[in-house]
């Protein structure tokens, strides 16, 4: 079993590693679903992590229908991740009709090598997940991340199980979406996945002694509340999947 932890800061990535995670997905802006982290964040994470480091390639929040200019940004970001010795990249491109953008996915996957390539939950935004899986295989993608097209992996158990059977040994199907220590065993046992992806984010109050409560910089919560990943939460998840 592989446990991957979504990490939006260097501190979160280090907590994931200390908690026994096998891999980190590094990104920024967790409240918007994540966007590409800075080159500085990638470089320092690579220096400090001994486990595999995958980098999110997402130029903006919102849908996964990208302009030509946004695609150029993604190509540049893939190149930067490769130069900074990331082990893999994570991206997703979807057409207006809800199908995988095969042409540009194939191009981005080829540009990513020798890094590993994962199609993130843009996969769940597709109209036909079976066809999307076949398209991902045809594009040379190594793995897809999915909740079975539902809000959480628990809601999509039967679909994830179907995708695992359909994938066989052609591609890895990784379960993600609301995965925690108290449900991961059920998800693994009922779907047959061998890799899981979890955020495990919680909040902690800021250590600032002076706090101007009138300020708002666009966050969904308090400006004096930090989103963190705790080592003990990662360890609890890893302990649940150990031996499965």
Range of the domain at 201: 2-241
pLDDT score recorded for residue 203: 87
- Count of domains forming the chain: 1
201 band by pLDDT with thresholds 50, 70 and 90: very high
pLDDT score recorded for residue 36: 98
Identify whether the C-beta of residue 197 lies closer than 8 Å to the C-beta of residue 2.
no
Lowest mean pLDDT among 29-38, 122-131, 195-204, 222-231: 222-231
pLDDT score recorded for residue 220: 60
Write the CATH number for 143.
3.20.20.380
Average pLDDT over residues 128-146: 98
Q: Which residues contact 69 (CB under 8 A, 6 or more apart)?
A: none
pLDDT score recorded for residue 211: 85
CA distances from residue 159 to 23, 144, 150 in whole angstroms, order as listed: 25, 13, 9
Name the residue among 186, 193, 192 with its Cα closest to residue 154: 186
226 band by pLDDT with thresholds 50, 70 and 90: confident
Give pLDDT tens digits for 28-87.
Answer: 999 888 999 999 999 999 999 999 999 999 999 999 999 999 999 999 999 999 999 999
Q: Count CB-CB contacts under 10 A for residue 203.
A: 10
Q: Count CB-CB contacts under 10 A for residue 155.
A: 15
- Percent residues over pLDDT 70 in the chain: 98
198 band by pLDDT with thresholds 50, 70 and 90: very high
Identify whether the C-beta of residue 44 lies closer than 8 Å to the C-beta of residue 36.
no
Average pLDDT over residues 189-193: 98
Cα separation, 50 vs 47, in Å, equals: 8
Average pLDDT of the chain is: 95
């Amino acid at each position: 079993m592989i446990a991957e932890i979504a990490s939006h800061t260097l501190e979160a990535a280090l907590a994931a590693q200390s908690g026994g995670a096998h891999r980190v997905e590094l990104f920024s802006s967790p409240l918007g679903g994540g966007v590409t982290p800075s080159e500085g964040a990638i470089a320092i994470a690579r220096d400090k992590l001994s486990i595999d480091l995958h980098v999110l390639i997402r130029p903006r929040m919102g849908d996964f229908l990208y302009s030509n200019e946004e695609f150029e940004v993604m190509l540049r970001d893939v190149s930067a991740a490769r130069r900074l010795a990331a082990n893999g990249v994570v991206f997703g491109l979807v057409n207006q009709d809800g199908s995988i953008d095969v042409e540009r996915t194939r191009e981005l996957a080829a540009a990513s090598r020798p890094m590993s390539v994962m199609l993130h939950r843009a996969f769940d935004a597709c109209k036909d997940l079976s066809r999307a899986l076949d398209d991902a295989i045809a594009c040379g993608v190594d793995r897809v991340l999915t909740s079975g097209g539902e809000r959480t992996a628990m809601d999509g158990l039967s679909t994830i199980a179907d995708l695992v059977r359909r994938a066989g040994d052609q591609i890895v199907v990784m379960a993600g979406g609301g995965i925690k220590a108290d449900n991961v065993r059920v998800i693994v046992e009922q779907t047959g996945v061998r890799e899981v992806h979890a955020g495990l984010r919680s909040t902690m109050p800021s250590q600032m002694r002076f706090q101007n409560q009138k300020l708002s910089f666009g966050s969904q919560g308090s400006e004096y509340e930090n989103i963190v990943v705790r080592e003990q939460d990662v360890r609890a998840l890893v302990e649940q999947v150990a031996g499965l």
